[in-house]
C-alpha cells in the first residue's frame, strides 16, 4: 500500500536547489539503523547521532555498543555520536544539540523520552511502528501480532511530551500474513519507516498535522522474559504468542522447556493439555485444551535445541504422555 500523507499533498517535492536540511538522528536498535541508512543516502545532511550508552552483554558482560553505533563504526560513518545516560535535566546534552543547529530531529526507537527543552530546539519527528493511536509504547510490533491484527504499519508524528501522543504527519500500512513472525514484521516495517522518513521530510512544510483520536488510544508495555511463559490451554493463543515473541524471549513452559518451530495444527479439538497426540518423522503433535500444535524443535534449559522427536525419545515420552 502507498504512503498516506496527512493534509494537503503536493506532487512536486521541495526543490533540491535549496540548501540541504540538517538532521539530528536519535535511535538505538536495527530498526533505527535501517532508517539512518536511508537518510545517509538522501539529500539530507546528517549532523549527529544520539543513541543509548554501551551496555554489558552476555555471560562475560562484554561492553557492547548499540546496533546503530556498531554500524557507524563498521562503515566508517563520519558523524559525531553522543550517548548520554539520560536527556532529562541534562544541560550538556541540550547544549550539544543546540550547537549542532538541526533543522529536524528524527527519532526512531531511541529508548528515552525527549524532554520539553529538547523538543523546543527543532521539529522532532518520531517513526513509530504502529498505526497510531493504536499501540503507543515500547512493543507495538509484538502487540499487533499478539492481537492477530490483519494490518499494522508505521506512523510519522510530531513529538510532544506525552508518550507517542503527538500529531500524525503520515502513515503507511503493512498487511500481516498468516505466517508472519516478529522478525519478518520488524524487517518490513523498518523498510517502510525508512521510506516514510524521507517522504515526511520532503513534504513537511506542506503537511497539515492530524490530531490523534483519543477514543481509539491503546498502549503496549516493554517486554519482559516472563511474558514468554505459555501453557497448552489454547493452541491459537499460543501460536500468536510464538509469532510475537519468537525472536525474544521465545515461548516456554513453566519447566523452561522452549517450544520452537511451531505451527497451528488445528484449533477446534478438545484434548488433555500437553498430551502427545502424534509422533511423526520430524515433528510431534501436541494437544491443547482447545486445538493442537505441530512442534518441530524443543530446547531444555541451558542445552542446545534439538528435534522434538529426538527429545521425546531421550525423555522416553510416548503417545498419550504429557509434555511438561
**Domain co-membership, 209 together with 230:** no
- Residue % of the chain over a pLDDT of 90: 92
Give mean pLDDT, residues 214-239. 97
Cα separation of 168 and 156, whole Å? 6
7 has a pLDDT exceeding 80: no
What value does the mean pLDDT of the chain take? 94
**Domain co-membership, 77 together with 116:** yes
Last-in-domain residue among 220, 251, 274:
220
Closest CA to 131 of 116, 110, 150: 150
Instruction: Kindly report, residue by residue over 54-74, the tens digit of the pLDDT.
Output: 999 888 899 999 999 999 999
Q: Cα angle vertex 77, ends 72, 78, to 5°? A: 125
Last-in-domain residue among 198, 220, 242:
220
**Domain co-membership, 208 together with 237:** no
Give mean pLDDT, residues 251-275. 97
> Looking at the domain assignment, is residue 239 inside a domain?
yes
**Domain co-membership, 62 together with 205:** yes
Give mean pLDDT, residues 249-276. 97
Torsion of CA 230, 67, 141, 243, to 10 degrees: -40
What CATH number did the domain enclosing 299 receive? 3.10.25.10
So what's the pLDDT on residue 59?
Answer: 84
> Looking at the domain assignment, is residue 262 inside a domain?
yes
Give mean pLDDT, residues 13-30. 77
304 pLDDT band (50/70/90 cuts)?
very high
**Domain co-membership, 191 together with 130:** yes
Cα separation of 307 and 260, whole Å? 9
**Domain co-membership, 296 together with 153:** no
How many CB atoms lie under 10 A from the CB of residue 35? 28
Between 12 and 238, whose confidence is greater? 238
> Looking at the domain assignment, is residue 128 inside a domain?
yes
Cα separation of 199 and 30, whole Å? 20
> Looking at the domain assignment, is residue 322 inside a domain?
no
So what's the pLDDT on residue 1?
Answer: 56
> Looking at the domain assignment, is residue 323 inside a domain?
no
So what's the pLDDT on residue 140?
Answer: 97
Tell me how many domains the chain contains: 2
**Domain co-membership, 276 together with 166:** no
Last-in-domain residue among 186, 220, 254:
220
What CATH number did the domain enclosing 75 receive? 3.40.50.170
Lowest mean pLDDT among 4-18, 44-58, 71-85, 155-169: 4-18
User: How many C-alpha atoms does 125 have within 13 Å on its Cβ side?
Assistant: 32
Q: Which domain holds residue 15?
A: 4-220
**Domain co-membership, 206 together with 257:** no
14 has a pLDDT exceeding 70: no
Cα separation of 160 and 88, whole Å? 14
Q: How does strand 124-128 pair with strand 104-108?
A: parallel
**Domain co-membership, 96 together with 162:** yes
Q: Using CB atoms within 10 A of its CB, is residue 269 exposed (0-12), middle (13-18) or buried (19+)?
A: middle
> Looking at the domain assignment, is residue 288 inside a domain?
yes
**Domain co-membership, 267 together with 176:** no
**Domain co-membership, 192 together with 309:** no
> Looking at the domain assignment, is residue 118 inside a domain?
yes
Q: Tell me if 143 sits within 8 A of 131, measured CB to CB.
A: no
pTM: 0.92
> Looking at the domain assignment, is residue 120 inside a domain?
yes
10 pLDDT band (50/70/90 cuts)?
very low
Alpha helix positions (H), 29-166 = 30-40, 67-74, 91-100, 116-119, 140-146
6 has a pLDDT exceeding 70: no
So what's the pLDDT on residue 147?
Answer: 98
**Domain co-membership, 94 together with 114:** yes
- The DSSP output letter for 77 is -
Amino acid at each position: 500500500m502507498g504512503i498516506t500523507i496527512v493534509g494537503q499533498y503536493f506532487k512536486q517535492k521541495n526543490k533540491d536547489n535549496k540548501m540541504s536540511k540538517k538532521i539530528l538522528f536519535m535511535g538505538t536498535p536495527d530498526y533505527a539503523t535501517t532508517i539512518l541508512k536511508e537518510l545517509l543516502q538522501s539529500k539530507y545532511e546528517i549532523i549527529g547521532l544520539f543513541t543509548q550508552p554501551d551496555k554489558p552483554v552476555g555471560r562475560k558482560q562484554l561492553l557492547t555498543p548499540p546496533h546503530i553505533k556498531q554500524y557507524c563504526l563498521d562503515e566508517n560513518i563520519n558523524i559525531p555520536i553522543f550517548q548520554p545516560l539520560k536527556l532529562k535535566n541534562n544541560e550538556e546534552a541540550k547544549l550539544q544539540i543546540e550547537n549542532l543547529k538541526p533543522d529536524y530531529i528524527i527519532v526512531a526507537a531511541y529508548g528515552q523520552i525527549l524532554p520539553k527543552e529538547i523538543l523546543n530546539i527543532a521539529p522532532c519527528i518520531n517513526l513509530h511502528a504502529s498505526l497510531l493511536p493504536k499501540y503507543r509504547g515500547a512493543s507495538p510490533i509484538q502487540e499487533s501480532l499478539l492481537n492477530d491484527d490483519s494490518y499494522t504499519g508505521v506512523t510519522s508524528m510530531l513529538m510532544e511530551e506525552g508518550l507517542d501522543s503527538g500529531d500524525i504527519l503520515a502513515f503507511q500500512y503493512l498487511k500481516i500474513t498468516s505466517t508472519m513472525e516478529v522478525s519478518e514484521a520488524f524487517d518490513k516495517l523498518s523498510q517502510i519507516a525508512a521510506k516514510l522518513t524521507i517522504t515526511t521530510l520532503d513534504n513537511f512544510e506542506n503537511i497539515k498535522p492530524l490530531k490523534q483520536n483519543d477514543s481509539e488510544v491503546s498502549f503496549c508495555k516493554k517486554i519482559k522474559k516472563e511474558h514468554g511463559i505459555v501453557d497448552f490451554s489454547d493452541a491459537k493463543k499460543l501460536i500468536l504468542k510464538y509469532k510475537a515473541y519468537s525472536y525474544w524471549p521465545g515461548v516456554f513452559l513453566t519447566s523452561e522447556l522452549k517450544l520452537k518451530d511451531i505451527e497451528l495444527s488445528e484449533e477446534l479439538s478438545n484434548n488433555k493439555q500437553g498430551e502427545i497426540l502424534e509422533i511423526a518423522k520430524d515433528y510431534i503433535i501436541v494437544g491443547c485444551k482447545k486445538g493442537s500444535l505441530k512442534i518441530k524443535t524443543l530446547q531444555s534449559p541451558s542445552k542446545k535445541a534439538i528435534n522434538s522427536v529426538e527429545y521425546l525419545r531421550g525423555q522416553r515420552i510416548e503417545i498419550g504422555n504429557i509434555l511438561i
